[in-house]
Amino acid sequence: MSTMIYIDGSRGEGGGQIVRSALALALVTGRPVTIDNIRSGRQKPGLLPQHLAAVNAAVEISGGTARGAALGSRCVWFKPHAPRSGEYHFRVGSAGSATLVVQTVLPALMLAGGPSTLIVEGGTHNPWAPPFDFLARAFVPLINRMGPRITIQLDRHGFFPAGGGSLRVQIEPAEALAGFDLCERGQIVDCRARVLLSNLPAHIARREIDTIVEKTGWNRGACSIDEVSATGPGNVVILEVASADVNEVFTAFGQKGVKAERVATDAVNQALEYIDSGAPVGPYLADQLLLPLGISAWQASSVHAATPVADASSVGARGASDAALPSPGGREEKRNQPGGSFRTLPLSDHSRTHIELLREFLGISIEVESSANDRNCTVRIK
């Protein structure tokens, strides 16, 4: 029987990511986990609807057992069984983030014994979670370089606070996750802006586009407005910076009482800081890449090879193919490359907490080396 691992949810930034990542790692490794002091660093501690939905989703895909799975709970015990591929439909309720539920179960289903389909209802565009556009345009393309084949589509927008959105994910699993190195950005080939607007005056989006063009100098023809149907009002500014090796996406959310110009400026500042840094990976994408690259390194470890902790047909303990795959930089790399590296801006508290969790749960090495001017750093996972 695998040894129970205890995770203190108050560590570091003390947010909900500790819950999601601990559940994801339990599913992949087969290790039972106790998560205590959940979200103690937040004004309203304990499980919120999206965290409870993540716990329930982890139980459903693995046939596992959970205790403490209730709104407001500050301690959850979870014992997984081998994850099962299949068709799943999860409902978060209100505007709780659907994307965060996806990220909880996606790693295990990327290594399951067959294809899966996820439908998740809830918030697709929530200020405190990766929006759908970030997953589709920045995160999923990099995950597809690791062996799985993921497609993600938006069926219905769900803005905070009304929610009511829906997204669909199709997953073709891999036998194991290939790592990659992403330390050079390459030439920027395109910069685009898009404003989402629902049930709000059109002048808001026009003012945001005007601000983007003024502050970036981007071609107005590369800026668009999408008026979409949703349950409630919503406004999101989305900037995409595409380079030879990676796409990055930066977002800002309209809020009551906040001027459109300020919302657009927030997104612009994020994009310009990224462009000026020269790093290929932005701060949010850096945080999202730590988990899959960590799993890749763990799968290749001698301990895992000697003592697989879950059913091989479910979590990819079979070993990776040696077929060559295109690397992020256009080079050929072996599909069994473990872990990887990337260069990014200075790490957030969120990412530093995530690194501590991965080291503890997976027993892998993660090194962070700052540049001479401290404007960026290189993360190596091995």
**Structure-model confidence comparison of residues 327 and 199, the more confident one:** 199
Evaluated on CA atoms 37, 42, 44, 48, the torsion sign reads negative
pLDDT of residue 187: 93
pLDDT for the residue 2: 72
Of 144, 177, 182, which Cα lies nearest the Cα of 281? 182
What is the pLDDT, as a whole number, of residue 284?
95
First-to-last C-alpha distance (Å) of the chain: 26
| SS3 category, 141 | helix
Average confidence (pLDDT) over 202-216: 98
Angle at 354 between CA 61 and CA 281, to 5 degrees: 100
In contact, 362 and 298? CB cutoff 8 Å: yes
Residue 298, both tokens: 């763990």
Enter the tokens of residue 270: 């994020």
Name the percent of the chain lying above pLDDT 90. 79
Q: Which CATH superfamily is domain 188-277 in?
A: RNA 3'-terminal phosphate cyclase, insert domain (3.30.360.20)
Q: Give the Cα separation of 143 and 96 in Å (integer).
A: 24
Per DSSP, 74 falls in state: S
Q: Is the pLDDT confidence value at 1 over 80?
A: no
pLDDT digits (tens, 9 = 90+) for 231-270: 999 999 999 999 988 999 999 999 999 999 999 999 999 9
Residues whose CB falls within 8 Å of the CB of residue 351, separated by 6 or more in sequence, listed in order: 283, 286, 287, 290
Sketch the domain layout of the chain as residue ranges: 1-81, 188-277, 282-381
Backbone angles phi, psi at 124, to 5 degrees: -100, -20
Please count the residues of the chain. Answer: 382
* DSSP run (H or E) holding 299: helix 283-299
Burial class of 295 by CB neighbour count within 10 A (0 to 12, 13 to 18, 19+): buried
The two tokens of residue 112 are: 């399951």
Radius of gyration of the chain (CA): 20
306 has a pLDDT exceeding 50: no
What is the pLDDT, as a whole number, of residue 331?
40
pLDDT at 302: 46
Collapse the DSSP code of 210 into the 3-class scheme (helix H, G, I; strand E, B; otherwise coil) and give the result. Answer: helix
Angstrom distance (rounded) from CA 215 to CA 331: 36
Residues 337-378 pLDDT 10s: 789 999 999 999 999 999 999 999 999 999 999 987 888 999
Encoded amino acid at 79, one letter = K
Vertex 27 angle, CA 25 and 128, to 5°? 60
pLDDT over 70 (residue 333): no
Here the tokens at position 179 are 């790592």
> For residues 128 and 159, is the Cβ–Cβ distance under 8 A?
no
21-73: per-residue pLDDT in tens? 999 999 999 999 999 999 887 888 999 999 999 999 999 999 999 999 999 99
Task: Tell how strand 116-122 and strand 87-91 pair up.
Answer: parallel
Residues tagged active-site: 350
Tell me, which fold does domain 1-81 have in CATH? Translation Initiation Factor IF3 (3.30.110)
Structure tokens at 357: 């969790």
**Residue written as token pair 């790093």:** 279
Whole-model pTM: value is 0.89
pLDDT in tens, 150-190: 999 999 999 998 999 999 999 999 999 999 999 999 999 99
Per-residue confidence at 334, pLDDT binned at 50, 70, 90? very low
How does the average pLDDT of the chain come out, rounded? 89
Q: Which residues are 171's β-sheet partners?
A: 116, 150
State the pLDDT at residue 336.
59
How confident is the model over 93-97, as a mean pLDDT? 82
Quote the CA–CA distance of 87 and 84 in Å, as a whole number.
10
